[in-house]
Chains A and B, each alone.
Chain A
Amino acid sequence: MASRVSLKSKGKASGKGSKGSQEEKSLAQSFKEWSTWTVKKAKVITHYGFIPLVIIIGMNSEPKPHISQLLSPV
């Protein structure tokens, strides 16, 4: 009995509240979604790009090593 009452009151409150704060909610939600999307993309970029980035930075540092040194086992 008590749970039914609380559910009804929740439904009423959300009905009233959603109209007013719909814009705020969607802004917060879109910010959250956007940040989650950014973090996911950053993770994929780091996963694939970190080692190539280190190699590029290393090959451009002084003294510049030759590309054959990168691949040969000696």
Chain B
Amino acid sequence: MATALNVPPTAPVTTPQQMKKEEEKVDYLNLPCPIPYEEIHREALMSLKPELFEGMRFDFNKGLSPKFSLSHSVFMGPMEIPSQSSETIKIPTAHYEFGANFIDPKLMLFGRILTDGRLNARLKCDLTENLTLKANAQLSSEPHMSHGMATFDYKGKDYRSQFQLGNGALFGANYIQSVTPHLSFGGEVFWAGQHRKSGIGYAARYNTEKMVATGQVASTGLVALSYVQKVSEKVSLASDFMYNYMSRDVTASFGYDYILRQCRLRGKIDSNGVAAAFLEERLNMGLNFILSAELDHSKKDYKFGFGLTVGE
């Protein structure tokens, strides 16, 4: 066997390596653990859906110890109110948000409170080595505007399963399994008591070191396909296709993500006529400058934002 691999020196160098890879048999009992079901579109979302904002944003993160940090955040700008008509209604608002984070390998607590009294809290706790409890809540002083959700995750050797409970009698469960070292399949089912809706969905993800392709179908009418190609260490390109077969809504988007030494630039263009870009520039250690732009030519809605982030 060894002599077969000793190719003459004039042959290309990749040949012995390629032959070695083919000989490595896929060990189906030793597959890697798959990505959690809700992060199945993670690479595509990171490139195509940056946190675009309008107005001015200032974030200050102060670390009091390696595990504990406080954050102060100021935002001034128009906030969009969801409206029934096609016109977008924007109301200028300004708020200050205070936050505290505690990050431990076993317990993570994340809390943010705004000046209008809204609390956004997240908790992640490792109950055992494989079982994790995650909870998040958005509480507000207004009645019937608070939401909470708790999730139990179980991580197996090559599968993950999750059970979710939410307020308003919301139950959900999902399961994802690695089928080959590159391919994983998953499914989910949910039931919303308050809206009397239930749904089932399936997802598949194929990833290699250079590319990720995912597909998701749900009984709510959603079909989502995405493809991300890592062209080099610094550049990745992503494309996304979403189709709702109930409402006959189609959206395709294409975006890029440049991770350079001093900055991270993400841009995308949409089939709805929306072009967006998001730049994070590292001015100094711990000082980041953010620029965000979103041009919606069909709705004539142009949003520009700038901000500064201080701290890690």
Residue positions of A touching B, CB distance < 8 A? 43, 46-47, 50-51, 53-55, 57-59, 61-65, 69-70, 73
| Interface residue B218 (Cβ < 8 Å from any Cβ of A) | no
Residue positions of B touching A, CB distance < 8 A? 62, 64-68, 70, 98-102, 104, 109-111, 113, 119, 121, 137, 139, 141, 146
Taking a contact as CB atoms under 8 Å apart, the answer to whether A54 and B137 are in contact is no
A66 to chain B minimum Cβ distance, whole angstroms, is 9
Instruction: Please name 30 pairs of A and B residues whose Cβ atoms are closer than 8 Å in the assembled complex, sorted by A.
Output: A43-B139, A43-B146, A46-B137, A47-B119, A47-B141, A50-B119, A50-B121, A51-B98, A51-B99, A51-B100, A51-B111, A51-B113, A54-B102, A54-B109, A54-B110, A54-B111, A55-B100, A57-B68, A58-B64, A58-B102, A59-B64, A59-B68, A61-B65, A61-B67, A61-B102, A62-B65, A65-B65, A65-B68, A70-B64, A70-B70
Q: Which 7 A-B pairs have the closest CB atoms?
A: A58-B68, A65-B64, A54-B100, A47-B139, A51-B111, A54-B109, A50-B121
Taking a contact as CB atoms under 8 Å apart, the answer to whether A46 and B68 are in contact is no
Query: What is the predominant secondary structure among interface residues of chain B facing chain A?
Result: strand
Q: Which residues of A contact B119 (CB under 8 A)?
A: 46-47, 50-51
CA–CA, A3 and B113, complex, Å: 53
Closest chain B residue to A57, Cβ basis: B102
Q: Which residues of B contact A57 (CB under 8 A)?
A: 68, 102, 109
Q: Which residues of A contact B101 (CB under 8 A)?
A: 54
Taking a contact as CB atoms under 8 Å apart, the answer to whether B65 and A63 are in contact is yes
Q: Which residues of B contact A63 (CB under 8 A)?
A: 65-66
Tell me the total A-B contact number using a CB cutoff of 8 A: 53
CA–CA, A43 and B119, complex, Å: 11
Taking a contact as CB atoms under 8 Å apart, the answer to whether A46 and B64 are in contact is no
Closest chain B residue to A62, Cβ basis: B65
CA–CA, A43 and B167, complex, Å: 12
CA–CA, A62 and B104, complex, Å: 11
- Decide: A46 near B102, CB < 8 A? Known: A57-B109, A70-B64: no
B58 to chain A minimum Cβ distance, whole angstroms, is 13
Taking a contact as CB atoms under 8 Å apart, the answer to whether A58 and B65 are in contact is yes
Closest chain A residue to B135, Cβ basis: A46
Q: Which residues of B contact A62 (CB under 8 A)?
A: 65
- Decide: A58 near B100, CB < 8 A? Known: A47-B119, A51-B113, A51-B119: yes
Q: Which residues of A contact B109 (CB under 8 A)?
A: 53-54, 57
CA–CA, A64 and B65, complex, Å: 7
A68 to chain B minimum Cβ distance, whole angstroms, is 11
CA–CA, A1 and B111, complex, Å: 60
CA–CA, A59 and B301, complex, Å: 45
A34 to chain B minimum Cβ distance, whole angstroms, is 17
- CB-contact partner of A46 in B67, B70, B110, B121, under 8 A: B121
Closest chain A residue to B101, Cβ basis: A54
A9 to chain B minimum Cβ distance, whole angstroms, is 28
Q: Which residues of B contact A51 (CB under 8 A)?
A: 98-100, 111, 113, 119
